[in-house]
Structure 1
Amino acid sequence: MIGGRTAPEISLRLLEIFAAMMRAGTTVEAAEMLGVSQPAVSAGLKQLETQLGIVLFERASRRMMPTAEARELFAEIRPMFSMLRSFTQTARDIREGLSGRLRIISTPPIGHTLAPRALVEFLRERPGVSVAFDVRRLEHVIDAVQSGSADLGLALSMDRYTALNSEVLHETHMVALVDAAGPLAAQTQVTAEDLAAHPFVGIEGDSKLGGLVRSAFLQSGLGYLPQIEVRYVSTAAELVNHGLGNAVVDPFTAHYHARPGIAIRPFVPACMTRVVLLTRRGVPRSQLAHAFAATLKPIFAEPLRRIHA
């Protein structure tokens, strides 16, 4: 209460006019700073003085000189305008995808191959952005996106999920990794029968990718009997690199993990799979999520290249 009356509620716009006037000295210059008309500045100052019951400016020649009371009030509100500028800049950075935190979770075939490439490009122009990046099994990726603990999920999957949006980024087929000096490398494609005749490393059958390969063997009338069974395709690639047999893996793992001396051949029967981008249904994507997806998509259009350690 002031003098038995309720203190006036001063609008931020009036304070902006006051601050501009304190910096400019004339209503014309203040109007130019704010992008408004000179009469609007004069009217705003008059309204502010009326609400406060204080004379803020006195005319001296062609300039408006702030009173001692105006200087005291300006010292009070100056920090607020610094915070407002910071707030405005932060909002602009968020809107343009230049600030904030993005949480990404991926299955290994993408998380250990193309996703890091996308992150390099994504963060190069966004030093103010931080990323939480995790690589887990498919069921963990689905749970994380559904629960909201991750903003984006990346996976190889042919399934649909009722609580998730699933955007197909790329369609591809599994490939065979074989000894480049062995007989299978001389073939244009490698069949399930070919693999069954030699030691091979298999992905565990209850996983999605392992299930695809198991189905291909059954389609060919063969049992799925790998000499070594592993959980992850990257593990299978490493065992092939060490001469422990052939394997069927996704092409991203093949090109990024196979070392010299290992050949990559199409596998038949064809095992198609999709790279999908998973988001929580009913929750709009953030600008950061849109920006990362836009960075990731063109990478799938590029030819795969093998990277050697």
Structure 2
Amino acid sequence: MRAVVLEAAERPVRVRDWPEPQVRPGERLVRIKACGLCGTDVKLRAGKVPGVRLPLVLGHEPAGVDVETGRPVVIYPHLSCGRCVNCVEGHENICLATRGTLGITAHGALTELVSVPAGSLIELPEALDFEHGALAGGVVAVSLCALRKMGPVLDRWVIVAGLGGLGLVGIQLLVAAGARVIASSRSEEKRRLALELGAAAAVDTGGSYEEEVRAITGGVGASGAVDFTGAGEHVGRLIRCVRRGGRVVLVGYTSGTLSLPYAEVVMNGVDVMGSRSYTREDVRTALGLMERKKVDLLVDRRVSLEQVDEALDQIASGTVTGRVVAVLP
């Protein structure tokens, strides 16, 4: 069968023949129909994700058909143990005894067939297609998981930094929850789109936006900020944009170290926390929101397996508005 394989860091990914999976006890075979692409795939190709063994089949945002039942499903990518304290408490996205994550530290789903634990399958509602299924986890659920950490947002100012697919969905979720959103991006086009999606204001990160945020919020600062950029230099600025007791949630990431204005964090009582991926419950909630048309996924481009490497170039360039999905016949 065909698969998109990363054979060496800083080299193009390519489609090559790959052995069909062996179905072990407790696993189910899934025929992949769609798989989202994102910045993590770009980082993998660049060799910036630790713990990766090559060659690696990419693909961590998949949906397809359960071969045994014929039903459409979303695949939860984290191979969590289900028994550790984090899993028991519903945080299987940060399992203490994980066996890896599809497409990152285990072979993924940018291929024709995968075998995964039966518990990894989440039924895809009839009203949604495979593209919706693929992006339910990789986009909507990621944003949901991060926004849960924000706490109450009704009638509060919240900054969304980074207006790629995640940020644009994050804006829609925050607006639906009653927040007053300040969108931030260097891109005028993306700021305009954020306003169309319901953001109350948009600021250019190329300028001194801390003062602008303070002015928008009446001199107090925002209640919180969600950073989807992964650009460490922005975090200190976001800390200065939130009010005393505010919260900054980090979703995007890089392989470097993070420098914080230590005294300002402590003296202003600012919470800084990371949000990794999403849980199964986040996926179910995401599917429900999508089924009720509460979220527009803003799919920018659909590609074949042979076009994945070119698509990763475009994602890396920052020119993609919305998301890219690989679609299989």
TM-score (norm 2): 0.22
TM-score (norm 1): 0.24
Larger radius of gyration between Structure 1 and Structure 2 = 1
